[in-house]
Structure 1
Amino acid sequence: MLLLPYAIKFSFYVCFQAIAVYFNLYYLIPRFLEKSRFTLYITYLLITVLCTASLIVTGYYLGAFISGKSFEAIYGPGTYCLYYFYSNALPSTLASTTLAMSIKLTKNWIQTKRRQQLLEKEKLETELNFLKDQFNPHFLFNTINSIFFLIHKNPDKASVSLAKFSELLRYQLYECNDRQIPLINELLYLENAVELQKLRLDNHIKVNFQVSQAHTAQLGIAPFILMTLMENAFKHVSKHPDQPNWITITLHIHQDQLDFYVGNSTSYDTFTPMTPYKGIGLKNVQRRLDLLYPEKYELEVECQQNSYEVKLRLQLSELVDTQIKQPQPEIIYK
């Protein structure tokens, strides 16, 4: 019979504090705190804590009433009054409510951070896919125009260009869907693209394409990063009848550092410093570099009266799976 008052008191603590905790977590917080109604939330929370403490205090009196004993007989000598019981019930209720609220808010914060990270990752993937999809039609449009030009000028060259064009399409469709591809594949693609571009050029435009090191099997690169810079050179090269017209493309690899240079002669009458920026090409490359290689690249653009030069320095990383899907032919750089 002596344990009955303690059992009643304990049950009042557990039941009413649990009700207060759930009422705070699933009603007050979503309805007021999460909607930034802080004054109302604090007011209702204090009322909830006070009411809960009052209900718990009744457990002391109910236990003494049912057992038929005085507080001194149950709890020992002391001064037992309403203030004494509140001094126990109120801090305990406030502590349990605060602890549960802290756990809940911490859990919500962690879930929110994870959701934000997932959304940022999805946004990044979406933006990268959009930028890559934006490039492909840009390249295809220019290439189809070149082949159309060759059909009327030189059908034999047009046939060769169609064969190379099919190889480029195969590369785009099947070999460059990952965020990183083997660098050797990108170089092969770049060489084919240069040869395709050369088919439509006049003989008085000199093209110099050099790669200082071809042993790149362990390194990876984002697809189409180098391609756009090369394409701009062919797009804006000068066509002087009595002056040198040239395009120079060099690529040097030292360990994991790639140095890529593209330069071309320009016509001052038709070329302005803003010309290369009118299309999506260079802006596309800069945006993709910002997303894929933050603080790991340097891009310099130098525009002069008779030349336009782009220098890219890029820190590459090794591929997790460096195996090339298909055997690659030997690259012959000209």
Structure 2
Amino acid sequence: NYFLLIKQFLFKGRTREFIFYNLLLIVAAAVLMHFGNDLLRWISPEHMPRRGGRKFRPSPWLFVIRNLTTLVTMMGLSVALKMTFRWFEVESERKELEKAKSEAELQNMKNQISPHFLLNTLNNIYALVEFNPSKAQQAVLDLSKLLRHILYDNDKPLVPLHQEVDFIKNYVDLMRIRLSENVKLNTQLSVKTNSGTPIAPLIFISLIENAFKHGISGDKPSFIDISLSETPDGKIEFVSRNS
């Protein structure tokens, strides 16, 4: 029952067949146990029960009822054990699937940084070289830091929060180069300088990039607000708003 019937019938929704075969199994086992007791008494008469000093033969129904009770109890216990182990297996599989799904979603978010951003940034730096060389040098430095973070920290499961904040600052500074005067950019990064709170790398980049992509108007005033803060108990709060 434990190794075959539960798996082949009960777990597959074939309840009637499961009950039928269990009843057959119980009846067969009860009959075998009954004849086994008779055989034991025939081989060893000293095992015959005594009443008033004389041997007597108990009613066969007594053995049948006792054996049926034992067998039904054993069947119930085997089902309970199998169902318990099955629940743990299903729960473990569910957690593994949720973990894999979360990792896939996170990886997808990491991959959201647009190649167009790099191309546009290089074009902006190239334009800066002619009329503002010092600002162009700073932009190159910011870009190198940003790329270093992507190359070396992207595959890590967690990074210190202060590294992610530095990445956001570099990204925003590079995006600021191409903003017109019609765009009001506000950033509030209220995080301790050396905050070691662990966080997944590049988790905010897709949200920030979308704010720049969809929050800028070419002919009317617009705004982008980005804030990141850490509470004393280590809770991270991130808000991105755009016009």
- Same fold? TM cut 0.5: yes
Q: TM-score, normalised by structure 1?
A: 0.59
Identity of aligned residues (%): 26
Contact 2:224/2:240 (8 A) holds in 1: no
**What aligned pairs does 1:54-65 form with structure 2 within 5 A after superposition?**
54-65=31-42
Contact 1:56/1:89 (8 A) holds in 2: yes
- Aligned amino acid, residue 172 of structure 2: V
**Cα deviation, residue 245, structure 1:** 6.2
1:285-329, Cα deviation, whole Å (9 max, x unpaired): xxxxxxxxxxxxxxxxxxxxxxx1xxxxxxxxxxxxxxxxxxxxx
Quote the Cα distance in structure 2 between the aligned partners of 1:77 and 1:205: 110
Partner of 1:120: 98
Contact 1:186/1:223 (8 A) holds in 2: yes
Secondary structure, counterpart of 2:5 in structure 1: helix
**Which stretches in structure 1 are left out of the alignment for 5+ residues?**
1-23, 264-307, 309-334
Partner of 1:238: 217
Quote the Cα distance in structure 2 between the aligned partners of 1:192 and 1:40: 67
CA RMSD of aligned residues (A): 3.3
Partner of 1:215: 192
**Cα deviation, residue 251, structure 1:** 5.1
- Aligned amino acid, residue 93 of structure 2: R
Q: 2:28 aligns with which of 51, 58, 65?
A: 51
Contact 1:180/1:222 (8 A) holds in 2: yes
Q: Classify 1:70/1:212 alpha carbon distance in 2 versus 1 (closer, same or farther; 3 Å).
A: closer
Q: Classify 1:62/1:42 alpha carbon distance in 2 versus 1 (closer, same or farther; 3 Å).
A: same
Quote the Cα distance in structure 2 between the aligned partners of 1:94 and 1:254: 59
Partner of 2:162: 184
Contact 1:230/1:249 (8 A) holds in 2: yes
Partner of 2:69: 91
- Aligned amino acid, residue 33 of structure 1: L
Equivalenced residues, count: 234
Partner of 1:25: 2
Contact 1:211/1:250 (8 A) holds in 2: yes
Compare 57-66 and 44-53 and name the one that shifted more. Answer: 57-66
1:69-110, Cα deviation, whole Å (9 max, x unpaired): 684449976662221221222211222222223222212222
Q: Classify 1:56/1:164 alpha carbon distance in 2 versus 1 (closer, same or farther; 3 Å).
A: same
Partner of 2:123: 148
Q: Classify 1:234/1:88 alpha carbon distance in 2 versus 1 (closer, same or farther; 3 Å).
A: closer
- Aligned amino acid, residue 173 of structure 1: L
**Cα deviation, residue 41, structure 1:** 1.0
Q: TM-score, normalised by structure 2?
A: 0.78
- Aligned amino acid, residue 178 of structure 2: R
